[in-house]
Amino acid sequence: MLKRIILIIICIGLLFLKSLQLTDVSPELLTVGRLHPIILHFPIVLILLLLLGEIFNFLSLNKIPKQVFNLVFLVAVLLTLLSILSGFLLFSSGNFEGILMDQHFIGAIATGFGLLLTYAVYISLESAVNLKPIYLILLLITNISAFYTSHQGGSLTHGKNYLNEYLPFMSKEFKSKPVASDTILYVYEDVIQPILETKCAGCHHSLRAKGGFSVASIKDLFEKGESGKLPIIHFLPDSSELIKRILLPDTISDHMPPVGKIQVAKSEIAIIKYWILKGAKEKLSIAEMDSLNVQSLVYQLAPNIKKYRLNLDKAKFTASQIENELKLLADELEVSIKKDNKAEGEKYTISNKFPPVAFDSKKLLLLKPYLELFTKVSLVSSQLDDADLYYIGQMTNLKELYLQKTKLKGQNLMYLSKLPNLEILNLSFTGTEDKSILDLTKFPALKEVYLYGTKTSNEVIKAIMAYKPSLKIHSEEGPYF
């Protein structure tokens, strides 16, 4: 009876945990909260083991002693409660928020509540055997709840849909073409193209052909770039600019791919060179290779090529999803969101329509999951103020920012100093003052600033330009985009 009373009290406590607010969390408690990712794995495994144990008992595969089962159950309950408590303390740190966080928290409460209820029924089985079906149903529901909660937690730490992001690529069509297992496969289409798309397409695609070079099609590989040199010359791999750039030491700026990007492996270079040596034919099949060494390299690379294809397909699928989400969001926010075809990767621009509609902090928060995708932002005549610069400061790929005629006073410009790529900033017709613009000297990439109609003085502007000659400060309203 005492066990049941304790379980009821804990269940009631769990129900009210989400509504509890901790205004002052000590460093000691926050340290306990940080243990949450370590602690939570144990109860998840134990809850699953309980279900498997019941299945084994039912099928008479391996009868688990009752004492062991009782111990596992009790430990699972205690660790689950500890996991929920540490998760709550981590949540109280204020570093986590949003729909995913709420779903994860509610899932954790449901799992804890379900496990306690299951345990209460379990300890009642000795006196009421007829409760066995209810117990098994509750145990199954608790496992489902634990899986859901784990999925939401994985999405929080590793990105949205972490567990199921590869599911769309499990079709037979995708699996039906293993590299180097069929004589109809081709060297370029099935080996080299995935390599080039993975290692080079980030900078050299049809919409953003850096240096005038694109790997979007085989035709592009034989078009001269801005250097005036051919990327590929038939039968001459060592004279082909593509091979030359790949083989350059990584200390030289012309080395491709740039340092920090995924490099082309030696085996991949050998296959590309062989293909060029044989005339760089589009329909040279793998079966036609007369070099056993290179053919062997193709076989060895098969798992990597498959992974390249999978990641490329996933990236395209994800990009399509994001593009559709942003289209819907643009309609909801009444702004214009367009793809930035000049930027590397899948990046976007956002701007107010004319005449501009009300755009405030609430609307900006709806963009939070996509902040890193924007390279240009023009929210002229919006209701944004200095507090909103905190979120704009998280747009790590931002290059141009136009905030003229907003409610800014410049007090939080320091948030923008963390942006590594911001080159143009327009603050015309805002309340920006001398004290605020001193922070402009700390912006790493800033080249142009527009301060027309602000409360800044010529003396301070001249002093900043003298201190940082690379920064141009314009006394004109400047462009809107």
With beta carbons less than 8 A apart as the criterion, state whether 245 and 253 touch: no
pLDDT category at 344 given cuts 50, 70, 90 is confident
Q: What is the pLDDT of residue 346?
A: 87
pLDDT of 39 > 50? The answer is yes
pLDDT of 131 > 90? The answer is no
The beta-strand segments (E) located in 256-325 are: none
For residue 263, what is the DSSP state? Answer: P
The CA distance from 468 to 70, in Å, is: 71
- Pairing of β 348-352 and β 335-339: antiparallel
Token digits of residue 392 = 């704009």
pLDDT (mean) for 460-466? 93
Give the distance, in angstroms, between the CA of residue 158 and the centroid of all CA atoms in the same chain.
7
Across the beta sheet with 400-402, the strand order is: 335-339, 348-352, 374-378, 400-402, 424-426, 448-450, 472-474
For 83, 186, 346, the CA distances from 320, given in Å and listed in that order, are: 37, 28, 10
Per-residue pLDDT reduced to its tens digit, 421-443: 999 999 999 999 999 999 999 99
Collapsing DSSP states into helix, strand and coil, what is residue 153? helix
pLDDT of 380 > 90? The answer is yes
Higher pLDDT, 446 or 475: 446
Token digits of residue 182 = 């069929």
The CA distance from 19 to 31, in Å, is: 22
pLDDT of 237 > 80? The answer is yes
pLDDT category at 409 given cuts 50, 70, 90 is very high
Q: What is the pLDDT of residue 183?
A: 43
Higher pLDDT, 225 or 449: 449
Q: Which residues contact 456 (CB under 8 A, 6 or more apart)?
A: 432, 433, 434, 437
Does residue 258 have a cis peptide bond before it, meaning omega lies within 30 degrees of 0? Answer: no
Which H/E stretch holds residue 66? helix 66-91
Token digits of residue 430 = 């805002």
pLDDT (mean) for 80-104? 69
Which backbone phi and psi does 373 adopt, to 5 degrees?
-85, -10
Q: What is the pLDDT of residue 11?
A: 60
pLDDT of 476 > 80? The answer is yes
pLDDT category at 106 given cuts 50, 70, 90 is confident
The CA distance from 327 to 288, in Å, is: 47
Collapsing DSSP states into helix, strand and coil, what is residue 410? coil
Per-residue pLDDT reduced to its tens digit, 249-268: 988 888 999 887 889 999 99
Tokens 């290059």 correspond to what residue?
A: 399
Tokens 């909660």 correspond to what residue?
A: 149
pLDDT category at 395 given cuts 50, 70, 90 is very high
Which H/E stretch holds residue 402? strand 400-402
Q: What is the pLDDT of residue 153?
A: 74
Least confident of 181-195, 300-314, 380-394, 406-420: 181-195
> How would DSSP label each residue in 410-445?
STTGGGGGG-SS--EEE-TTS--BHHHHGGGGG-SS
Per-residue pLDDT reduced to its tens digit, 74-87: 888 888 888 877 77
Enter the pTM of the model. 0.58
Higher pLDDT, 45 or 470: 470
**CA neighbor of 108 nearest in space, from 91, 131, 83, 130:** 83
pLDDT category at 182 given cuts 50, 70, 90 is very low
Instruction: Please state, rounded to an integer, the average pLDDT across all residues of the chain.
Output: 83
Tokens 């005339």 correspond to what residue?
A: 279
